[in-house]
Amino acid sequence: MMGNAKGKKRGKKRIKIFLVIVAFLALLAAAGYTVFIAPLLKKDQWIYKEVLVQKGTLAVGVTESGALTYGITELNYGLDLDTSTDDDDEEDEEEVVKYLQVEEVYVSAGQKITKGDALVKISESSITGVRRQLDSALVEAKTEYNEALADYELSALEANLDYESSLIDSKYAKSIYNNNVKSLNGDVQSLKVQLEECQSKTATLTQKLQDAQDGFGELEQKYKDAKAAWEAADIAEAVNYTYYERAYINAQSSYQNAKDQIKQAKQALADNEKQITTLTRQINASKAAKELNGLQVDGTYQESVLSGENAKVIYDSTMEGLKEDLQKAQDELDQAQKRKDDFEAFVGEDGMLYASEDGIITEVSCTAGQTLERQQTLLTYAKPSEMTISVDVTQEDVVNLAVGDKVSISFTAYPDVPYEGIIHSIETTATSRNTDTVSYTVVVAVEGETDGLYGGMTSDIIFVLEEKEDILYVSRKAIVEEDGKTLVYVKDADGKMVLREVKTGITNGVSIEITEGLQEGETIYLASIVSSATEVTGEAESGNGKNSGEAGDGSKRQDGSMPSGEMPSFDGMPDMENMPDFGGSMPDFGGSMPDFGGSMPDFGGGMPGGGSRPEGGSRPSRNSGGSKQ
């Protein structure tokens, strides 16, 4: 019993020792993995990609980044269908249709469309109603215009007659004035002539009167003597009586003639004096009338002259008013015609609105049954055919650019596919006035095949400032700098990777010209990094100045050799397969831990190396460009 108890106690002790050894070995394995293996698994490794030396055109210029945007087309409803006027009659019993109505919408946001696809249908009933109203308004506008045109032509004729009459009056105003003045002067002069004639007759008439009076006394005495002799004659003495009677009659006749002459002379003298008085009075009146009429004649003359001078102004003013009235009628007719034309162009032959080009629907803003009472956007779609990229270019570089210049484009999604574009516009207003760097927005239009490009894709725009054609060039990732030399890893005849010295020329930050040392079609190597921790592989960035760092601009290590990309050797690692055989039972350590010689096993030296980051590539300047074959 005592022996069995001791045996059980010794067995438990051995189990404890075994468990301790197992735990120690597990801890040792974990420490080895953590210290030696895990760092190697997390360390970036180098791999190499074979590429051929190319010949083509290398462009050098300014590189800027930007995002691709689509051109947006809006399907807008902007018809002016208002045909109402202030004097409209009351509407008929039939309800007037004033607006178009959406019958059906055939697309939705995100849907791809092709040129000619049906987008929206307008109801036929609303098209018929609106067309009726527009036709009626057009007929009314044409009628009003014809009336306005007839009134214009008549009024223009009258204005022209007034204008020509004013010109004629002005032309002959001086002549009329002179004639009127001459007429006034002639009236006075004629009266003066008559007065002078009367005044000259006064002396003659006075002389005649004097002459008549001078012989009158003698004839009167003879008459009296003859009368007395006749009265005294004896009638019985017929001869004597007849003699005296005849003498009496002759004397009486002479006396009476002389008396009549005196009377006539007096009357003529009196009439002449009266005529003189009348003429004098008429002359004075004519002189006063001359002054008055002269003022009137002068006023008429001045008015005619002024009317002639203003005839053109008056005519132009009259015609301008007439033209305004006619133009107003013309504008209303044009507006009515434009409403009708715009309406017919919008609804087309079938009331269907079609896509004008390929695109992707970005927004639908109308619904079936909606009445279009105001201007609005029905839907919008992006046009892949109008792709642009906007970038900011500094004032130092923008002066070398012009609208229409060709550019090279490299999309991040397609690094090996060259694209071309053209400068569409250059903003003249700076985008950053309050910073040390003044930039201007340059818009580039993408040309050529655009399949596979999507809005928002990032790209590098290369504004070409210099080009070399028919030259050899390689990626800058192939360049290795060592001891002041420029080298490239080349595949030799045996298929091995060897360094060869080359001479370089221009570079755009992505590619570099090779002037000596390589031939077209030779195979060279580009270094790339593989991250073991993330299992993501890819070529190192070429150092285009955009988050690339320096790793991709050369593959030189501290010792001048390319990184091997192999896992390090673990020489000295203990052989875990040759563990001591316990024969199915734990050895008896005599109650104590085994002696391991006081030291941990030697794993063959220090920490494994390899996989260091290459050096030698300098970060390129902001000036870069693109290459094309």
Kindly state whether residues 305 and 177 are assigned to the same domain. yes
Kindly state whether residues 306 and 454 are assigned to the same domain. no
Q: What is the pLDDT of residues 193-210, one digit of tens each?
A: 777 778 777 878 787 777
Q: How far apart are CA 567 and CA 574, in angstroms?
A: 18
Q: Which helix H or strand E contains 545, and what residues bound it?
A: none
Kindly state whether residues 384 and 336 are assigned to the same domain. no
Q: How far apart are CA 319 and CA 353, in angstroms?
A: 46
Any domain includes 108: no
Predicted local distance difference test score (pLDDT) of residue 140: 93
Kindly state whether residues 227 and 304 are assigned to the same domain. yes
Strand partners, 487: 480, 501
Kindly state whether residues 335 and 456 are assigned to the same domain. no
Q: What is the pLDDT of residues 256-306, one digit of tens each?
A: 888 888 888 888 888 888 888 887 887 777 766 666 555 555 666 666 656
Look at 229-238, 307-316, 519-528, 612-621 and tell me which has the smallest mean pLDDT. 612-621
Is residue 498 predicted with pLDDT exceeding 60?
Answer: yes
b (16+ CB within 10 A) / e for 19-49 = eebeeeeeeeeeebeeebeeebeebbbbebe
Highest mean pLDDT among 45-49, 123-127, 434-438: 123-127
Any domain includes 618: yes
Tokens coding 31: 């420490």
pTM: 0.44
Angle at 362 (CA atoms; ends 361, 365), nearest 5 degrees = 95
Final residue of a structural domain among 346, 370, 394:
346
Q: What is the pLDDT of residues 103-136, one digit of tens each?
A: 999 999 889 899 999 999 999 999 999 999 999 9
State how many domains the chain has: 2
State the CB neighbour count (10 A cutoff) for residue 245: 17
CA-CA distances (angstroms) from residue 38 to 43, 570, 611? Answer: 9, 13, 14
Is residue 11 predicted with pLDDT exceeding 80?
Answer: no
Domain extent at residue 444: 44-68+378-568+612-628
| Distance in angstroms between the alpha carbons of the first and the last residue of the chain | 96
What residues contact 445, with CB distance under 8 A and at least 6 apart?
386, 387, 388, 421, 422, 423, 424
Predicted local distance difference test score (pLDDT) of residue 186: 62
User: What is the maximum alpha-carbon separation in the chain?
Assistant: 256
Kindly state whether residues 304 and 443 are assigned to the same domain. no
Predicted local distance difference test score (pLDDT) of residue 509: 76
Is residue 421 predicted with pLDDT exceeding 70?
Answer: yes
Final residue of a structural domain among 346, 368, 394:
346
Closest CA to 120 of 375, 374, 369: 369
Closest CA to 195 of 272, 121, 108: 272
Kindly state whether residues 559 and 411 are assigned to the same domain. yes
Is residue 142 predicted with pLDDT exceeding 60?
Answer: yes
CA-CA distances (angstroms) from residue 463 to 66, 554, 622? Answer: 13, 25, 12
What residues contact 428, with CB distance under 8 A and at least 6 apart?
440
Q: How far apart are CA 328 and CA 528, in angstroms?
A: 77
225 vs 571, higher pLDDT: 225
Kindly state whether residues 535 and 398 are assigned to the same domain. yes
Encoded amino acid at 26, one letter: A
Look at 194-208, 466-480, 604-618 and tell me which has the smallest mean pLDDT. 604-618
Any domain includes 624: yes
Average pLDDT over residues 371-396: 89
Any domain includes 591: no
Kindly state whether residues 214 and 329 are assigned to the same domain. yes
Tokens coding 513: 């010209």
466 vs 578, higher pLDDT: 466
b (16+ CB within 10 A) / e for 359-388 = bbbbebebeeebebeeeeebbbbbbbebbb
> Crossing angle for the helix pair 238-347 and 124-232, nearest 10 degrees?
170
Kindly state whether residues 623 and 511 are assigned to the same domain. yes
Is residue 571 predicted with pLDDT exceeding 80?
Answer: no
Is residue 2 predicted with pLDDT exceeding 60?
Answer: no
Percent of the chain with pLDDT over 70: 70
Strands (E), 476-622: 479-482, 485-491, 497-501, 503-507, 511-516, 523-531, 536-539
Final residue of a structural domain among 295, 322, 346:
346
Is residue 137 predicted with pLDDT exceeding 70?
Answer: yes
User: Is residue 47 within 8 Å of 607, Cβ to Cβ?
Assistant: no
3 state SS for 214-271: HHHHHHHHHHHHHHHHHHHCCCCCHHHHHHHHHHHHHHHHHHHHHHHHHHHHHHHHHH
Any domain includes 593: no
Mean pLDDT value across the chain: 75
Q: How far apart are CA 384 and CA 450, in angstroms?
A: 7
Any domain includes 574: no
Q: How far apart are CA 407 and CA 61, in angstroms?
A: 9
Kindly state whether residues 329 and 274 are assigned to the same domain. yes
CATH number of 298's domain: 1.10.287
Any domain includes 518: yes
Is residue 72 predicted with pLDDT exceeding 70?
Answer: yes
Q: Taking the mean position of all CA atoms in its chain, how far away is CA 400? A: 25
State the CB neighbour count (10 A cutoff) for residue 579: 9
232 vs 300, higher pLDDT: 232
Kindly state whether residues 150 and 283 are assigned to the same domain. yes
Predicted local distance difference test score (pLDDT) of residue 296: 59
CATH number of 544's domain: 2.40.30.170
Closest CA to 9 of 593, 580, 588, 594: 588
Any domain includes 125: no
pLDDT band at 629 (very low <50, low <70, confident <90, very high): very low
